[in-house]
Structure 1
Amino acid sequence: MARDWRASVPLTERQELVRRSIREVCADFDDEYWRTCDREGEYPHEFVDELAANDWLGILVPEAYGGVGMGTPEAVVMMEEIAGSGGGFAAAQAVHGGVYNTVPIVNYADESLKQRLLPDVASGEARIQAFGLTEPDAGSDSTAMTTRAERDSAEETSADPTEATASADGDRYVVDGEKVWTSRVEASDYLVLLARTTPRDEVEKRTEGISMFLVDLDDAMADGLEIEPIPKTASAAVPAYQLYFDGVSVPAENLIGEEGRGFYQVLDGLNEERLVIAAECLGLGEVALERGIEYAREREVFGGPIGANQAIQHPLAEAYADLHAAKSVIYRAADRLDDLDREAAGARANVAKYLAAEAAFAAADAAVQTHGGYGVAREYDVERYFREARLTRLVPITQQLALNYLGERVLGLPRSY
């Protein structure tokens, strides 16, 4: 089926370039490839390697560090196209971390860390796919995290008696705690980690005292980091893990930004990332709808195509309307993000994520229903899209948290939590 609805939002020349280039890469990975990854729970290394070889993991890395130097409007196109190619939400999530985990490093890391790391990330030689935030007792309330990173400096006197310097071997943070639902660990060289450097009961605001670190995973595992896979069904091609830190050392030079300000650094890029997640939901909904329409045209019952029946036709048309509306919100918000203040940008980003996840779920549900009994057969893919669409209503935030933001920040209602 022609993807006519995808032309409904005007694209810039750069966005068109991204769409064509990503579509060419995706064309080499057919439906059976994605079915196998899902069935075996195997990360799509070949697909991500191909994107890396074409420099797309560095889409948000500035050109000064060897990256592509594009922004959110182009990343939205990229991730919608990946999800809509047939790989679904799992394909987009396989790439997501490698693209967005560079952002805090670009924005906050000191120059030496940028110079040391970003060129290798842009070229695909190094991967920062994993992000450690969620904990067993700190899900939506990230500020309740208890993982600690305690400074351990071995100081020595410098030539200037008024100064003290930390030795290269001794200046470190020691990390203890647990993280859960950390994805792409097996495909990553580095982990971006959030941990408390000041206990929660010692800060005025619960958002204070959290710091961000770059963790070399090989070094960390050699130092005692334990990793345990979490069996799951939705997006099985992107395995998730529970991480156990027990006295794991992280060099102090791998602190990203200012100590104690890590949570604010995460918030700083949240709106952009939320729009990209919305685009991934959109692509998933589009491919699910596409499969539903194809089947409705081809399948004949009682002497005619089932798509002639309004009980089949209307849910698909409603799904199209929902996806069309979500797409308009996503692309307009991405184009105007730099012109909006944080509150306005946050409102649009949360509206986009909410609408896109709901639209994706409705489209996947309609596609399954259209297929009847075959809707749960792996060979038709729509059952996989349905599992993934349900997941989009939970990650990276639940739909209820998006509504909480809108209720409090936009409608001016009392805080509910």
Structure 2
Amino acid sequence: MSNEPTVAFALARAHAPLLPFSSFRSLLAVRIAWTVGIQMLFVAIGWQMYALTHDAWALALVGLYQFFPVLLLTLPAGHAADSWRRARIVLGCLAVQGVVAAAMAFATHRNGLTRDALLLASLLLGAARAFQMPALQALVPSTVPPPLLSRAMAAVSTGSQSSVILGPALGGALVSFGIGVVYAVAALLFLAAALLALGLKVREVQRERRAATLDALVGGLRFVWRKPIILAAISLDLFAVLFGGAVALLPIYADTILHGGPVMLGWLRAAPAAGAFAMSLWLVRYPPKRRVGVTLLASIGVFGLATVVFGVSTNLWLSLLALIMTGAADMVSVVIRQTLVQLETPDEMRGRVSAVNAIFVGASNQLGEFESGSLASVIGPVGAVVLGGALTCLVALTWAWRFPQLAARKTLDG
């Protein structure tokens, strides 16, 4: 029997609008409110830590403290996302982050927020995000039909990146009114996201609550290891951003290299998101369809080259342009990688596989910040950023050789 009607239906749905799906709208609103709040916190914590210590090593520790919970808790979090209602997990994590932000606002008002308190807050925020991200990511395929998934991923990235633009810019601007104001506004945004999550109506399959055995916890790792295309995609992101991330050093660039202040830091933090936002708008309309493997590898190479340019720049506009390019290139990588992971994973495994993906993403971001900060303390911030960008380019070339099936991948659905 011919499958042409099914194919035609899928192609028609692939061009359907996304916003009529109420569950997708609600999930997108939750993600936007949360992302604005967490980005504001990142700016405030980084600026306050540097103001207290003037030490690149302290900035490195912030990234490390955020990563430790991801490393330790994400596999149990993935198991929880495959055993419990994912929307409820997201709600609980938002509540925890709201309490942390409110406590930081109160402590700042009382002049009691110290270096150790900032590290403790980073640890708690990392723990909440460790449980939130697998559940939040695994919810996306439940909100749209499969033919719309790549566009939904791009749309979610559009919302997230617009929030990453707004969050740092708003956080940097509010710093002039006091760090405590930033923490208080972030707490209100977490509250708004939690209220939105309460109304999130997603048809989740009733799952069997499995015991948290070692076999269940490592199920996602085994699945990824047996799927070379997924392993290649997420490990590429891990090593590329691990070496190429310069986010931890932006307070130093804003203060001592570009001779600005917290407002400039907000714009530097927002610049990659601006590039990602513009690229995500393009990808919503024109999702990757051909030679997606080569496109993924090329985007990592562009990310590395733009990082090198930022590292050597002493001009604000050139620095912003380079950061915009890193964001645009990273967005291409994110959409291709996340769509591949979701399409190649059955629903009953999505929580655990999303958890493994979260470990890789967390490692690339938080360990990348630790690597940049610790290396900068030895060879200086410029040397650390330039070396990291060069290593990122090398990673793209190495993965093209090590994983030929990734380079040969033609389409997202294989």
Higher helix share: 2
Greater Rg by CA: 1
TM-score relative to the length of structure 1: 0.33
Larger relative contact order (CA 8 Å, sep ≥ 6): 2
TM-score relative to the length of structure 2: 0.34
